[in-house]
Amino acid sequence: MTTIRKQSIISSGVVYLGFGLGAIINIILTREFSPDQYGLISGMFLAIGTILYSLASFGMPSVVGKFYPYYNDNLPIKKNDLMTWALLIALAGFGLVTIAGVAFRDQVADFYHKRSPAFVTYYFWIYPFALGLTLYTILEYYAWQRKKVVLTNILREVQFRLTTLVLLILYLLGIIRGFGTVIKLYAFNWLVIGLVLAVYLIRTKQLYVVLTPSRVTKKFFIRMRALAMLTWSGAILNNVALFFAQIIIAAVVPSGLTGVGLYTMAQFAGSLIQAPQRVLVASTIGPLSRAWKDKDYGRIDRIYRRSSITQLIFSVGMFVILLINFRDGIITFGFPRAYLGAETVFIFIGLRLIVDMGTGVNSQIIITSTFWRFEFLSGVILVTMTLPLNYWLATKYGVSGPAIADFFTFAVYNTIRCLFLYRKFQLQPFTIKSLYTVLLGAAAYLLCEFAFGSRYGLVWLFIRSVSFLLIYGGGVIGLKLSEDIRPVWETITKRIKGLFS
């Protein structure tokens, strides 16, 4: 667990640096572009691009994550053909996705032209965006296995946003003219990042093109094909469920892409909550794959419990600190007042993320186990609930409807997965400390809201945030809620004392 903790701490810093850049990008986008343009570039591109990636990848990321230890243990690096086949299959898959996109373009236009005409105008520019995301993600899974977690987080969280920020600065300076040019250049962002990672892996002799099927490929081909098909289907279902809100808001809510813009603003705030989860996923895939191969169930249990409490502490803390500052932040930093309408959306997105993160790395445990077929089954259950509920609540409550629907469906989804792991392996992530964390967060919220809820301005943002951190952070450390947070705190305090001794 020490390796996971070390990589997680470094990567968390990288992720939050990326979020800082993301905040600057969001300020520029909301001030320089209309809400519907913001909804298109920050909402629909990511939503549709991720779904297209899921369709094109044919489950290759899961194959790389599951079977890399077998290739690594039985083949020299120069004869490891796993990535060659994974990338070729994904490229072929993307070709099929592109053909389908061209064939159904008129139907897409009919669905969106009334409320979101800009999406129809720039529809085909989503495809290079999705191609880059597809290739980068497969390379990223491989880099995780090569213990390059920090590098991939720098590329995904920092470099992607730096490239976007440079693009926007060039627009502000008048070097790039017009929203159309911005979005067309933005469409190639992931391809640039993917190329950087590919060149690094090749130059450091960690990635080779091997066109001859190895004995490992021949031995495990049937198992890899079965895993790919089921996890591919599961990934499609999961991402459709995750991004269906933007798709349905753009089509049925009267505000169209403007509504997507409000939802995306709330989702960006929610992504700050999700940062530790993104880091832990990258850090635990390799160790979990190895633990299943070695039948080290004790290590799997430790990873499950400690990932749960660590993520719960961070998610509750970030949710509350963002919630108590949400309205003040929008007013103080000069966001258009229309984005105040995103507060209710943020509340339900935040609650969904707390549930999702508080249940630990259950998805990664299932995917890397011999019961990975359950990934598909649980995905079917999620989508079966999500699609009709999102549509119904969107028509009834507007932009807030899908957020409410997602909170409910993801709560049910994670409950099912936790029950499955408990029944099959007697694994469960919760302890009494989980309850203490939730109660501590609620108490800190009530105290700060009562004391500072009606105050606005930069000074009150600071006072409110520091007060919460002292109450919540002090409680986490004093109650020893996490085995991973306390050692970090002790290291920090020792170094501070060393400076003054």
- Residue pointed to by tokens 């003054």: 500
Position 159 in a domain:
yes
Instruction: Provide the pLDDT for residue 74.
Output: 87
385 token code pair: 């609930």
- Residue 403 is predicted with a pLDDT of 92
Write the CA distances from 406 to 175, 455, 488, integer angstroms.
Answer: 41, 32, 34
Q: How far apart are CA 406 and CA 349, in angstroms?
A: 8
Tens digit of pLDDT for each residue in 266-314? 888 888 887 767 666 667 777 887 888 788 888 888 888 888 888 899 8
Q: What is the pLDDT averaged over residues 113-128?
A: 87
Q: How far apart are CA 238 and CA 168, in angstroms?
A: 32
Residue 168 tokens, joined: 């926007």
Q: How far apart are CA 196 and CA 479, in angstroms?
A: 44
pLDDT at 499: 46
**What is the pLDDT, as a whole number, of residue 197?**
93
What CA–CA distances, in Å, run from 20 to 13, 17, 121, 487?
A: 11, 5, 31, 26
- Containing structural domain, residue 78: 2-495
**Residue 340: alpha-carbon gap to chain centroid:** 24
| pTM score of the predicted model | 0.75
The rounded distance, in Å, linking the Cα atoms of 231 and 122 is: 30
Place of tokens 């899974």: 141
Estimate to the nearest angstrom the gap between the alpha carbon of 194 and the chain centroid. Answer: 17
- The rounded distance, in Å, linking the Cα atoms of 36 and 178 is 15
The pLDDT tens digits of the residues spanning 456-475 come to 888 989 999 999 999 999 99
CA dist., res. 482 & res. 475, Å (int): 11
| CA distance from start to end of the chain | 32
pLDDT above 90 covers a percentage of the chain that reads 30
Which of 226, 236, 268 is CA-nearest to residue 66? 226
Cα–Cα distance for residue pair 361/368, rounded to 1 Å: 11
The answer to whether residue 218 is domain-embedded is: yes
Cβ–Cβ under 8 Å, residues 356 and 273: no
Does residue 140 form part of some domain?
Answer: yes
Tell me the per-residue pLDDT of 245-264, one tens digit each, with 9 for 90 and over: 888 888 888 878 888 888 88
In the chain, the amino acid numbered 373 is R
List CB contacts of 177: < 8 A, sequence separation 6 or more: 171
pLDDT tier at 4, thresholds 50, 70, 90: low
CA distance 139 to 14: 19
Compute the chain's Rg from CA coordinates.
23
Q: Indicate the number of domains in the chain.
A: 1
Q: Angle at the Cα of 264 (from 258 to 269), degrees rounded to 5?
A: 140
How would you label 272-308 residue by residue, b for 16+ Cβ within 10 Å and e otherwise?
A: bbbbbbbbbebbbbbbbbbbbeeeeeebbbebbbbbb
Kindly state whether residue 60 falls inside one of the protein's structural domains: yes
100 falls within a domain:
yes
Q: In this model, does residue 334 exceed pLDDT 80?
A: no
pLDDT at 487 (0 to 100)? 60
List, for residues 346-399, the tens digit of each pLDDT value.
999 999 999 998 888 888 888 777 776 787 788 788 888 888 999 999 988 888
The angle at the Cα of 357, spanning 353 to 359, to the nearest 5 degrees, equals 125
For the chain, give the mean pLDDT.
Answer: 85
Give the pLDDT score at 500: 47
Between the alpha carbon of residue 394 and those of residues 39, 117, 246, the distances in Å are 16, 19, 10
Q: What percent of the chain shows pLDDT beyond 70?
A: 92
In a domain, 500, yes or no: no
Reading phi first (left if > 0) and then psi (alpha if -120 to 50, else beta), residue 75 is in: beta
Span 147-195, pLDDT tens digits: 787 788 888 888 899 999 999 999 999 898 888 899 999 999 999 999 9
Average pLDDT rounded to a whole number, residues 21-29: 84
- Average pLDDT (478-487) is 76
Whether 330 is covered by a domain: the verdict is yes
Convert 234-246 to b/e letters by CB count within 10 Å (16 or more is b). bbbbbbbbbbbbb
Residue 451 pLDDT greater than 80, yes or no: yes
Q: In terms of Cα–Cα distance, which of 1, 143, 140, 146 is closest to 72? A: 146
| Residue 501 maps to a domain | no
